[in-house]
Amino acid sequence: MNLNGRKVVVTGGSGGIGSALIIGLSDAGAQVYNLDRNPPVSELPAQFIEVDLTNEQSVSAAMGKISDLDAIVVSAGIQLVGEDARIEDVSLETWQRTIDINLTGAFLSLKYALPKLVASGSGSAVLIGSPTAISMEGAGYSSYAASKAGMMALSRVIAADYKDKGVRSNVVVPGAMKTPLIQKIWDDHAKRDALVAGTPLGRIGNPEELVGLVNWLVSTDSSFATGASYAVDGGMTAR
């Protein structure tokens, strides 16, 4: 995939899926900006811009530092394992924190990226969804599943609202990925084994396995793809 000349923002790029996507995008020739609250723990081929994705002024200021933009990959997110639960057991604090980062953060990132994507003439938004939003995998994660379902709906709305502006919007749905986001699950052998058992390919995914699809959606080669969701989940949502 040749992404030479494409300028791409990755939110939450300092770790996990975001870092893998930054490396993949850069290797394909893209100029990448990493918008995150914290700098990466190791060097990444991206310009780091500090931002609080839950604060509108912070997001506006961060996006204002980028003159031109062809694509945004919304990968910032949290999953509060051990706090999120069935709805009657979820605290308002856990709900609000999850929604603030996962859904409001996506909204603000896209709000300030979209004028730049329109100006590019071939803009692309890629949102990282979750099987919890579309299947029974969401059991026990009320806040997280709701936030990801909202993100995925937002992508469809953008695809509809900006179809005449040259902007496309799509969702990539990873399955269980070995990332720090859900380290508590990996540390719990019973939960980890259940995730593996629920994945037809019989293993956990690696963030690098998302790179090819994300690069394609960022590129102009995917010019007829919009409003869609693409599962890279080892068959989890196909059961």
Annotated catalytic residues are 144
Residue 33 DSSP symbol: E
Q: Are 122 and 220 in contact (CB under 8 A)?
A: yes
Which residue bears the tokens 């979820």? 90
Integer distance in angstroms from the first to the last C-alpha of the chain?
Answer: 31
Contact indicator for 83, 136 with CB cutoff of 8 Å: no
User: Encoding tokens for residue 43?
Assistant: 């060097």
How far is Cα 209 from Cα 1, in angstroms, rounded to an integer?
Answer: 15
Q: What does each C-alpha distance from 149 to 39, 44, 133, 152, 155 come to in angstroms? A: 28, 30, 5, 5, 10
Nearest to 135 by CA among 11, 229, 16, 12: 229
Helices (H) and strands (E) in the chain, counts: 8, 7
User: Do residues 22 and 13 make contact, with C-beta atoms less than 8 angstroms apart?
Assistant: yes
Token pair in block for residue 29: 């020739």
Collapsing DSSP states into helix, strand and coil, what is residue 30?
coil
- DSSP label of 67: S
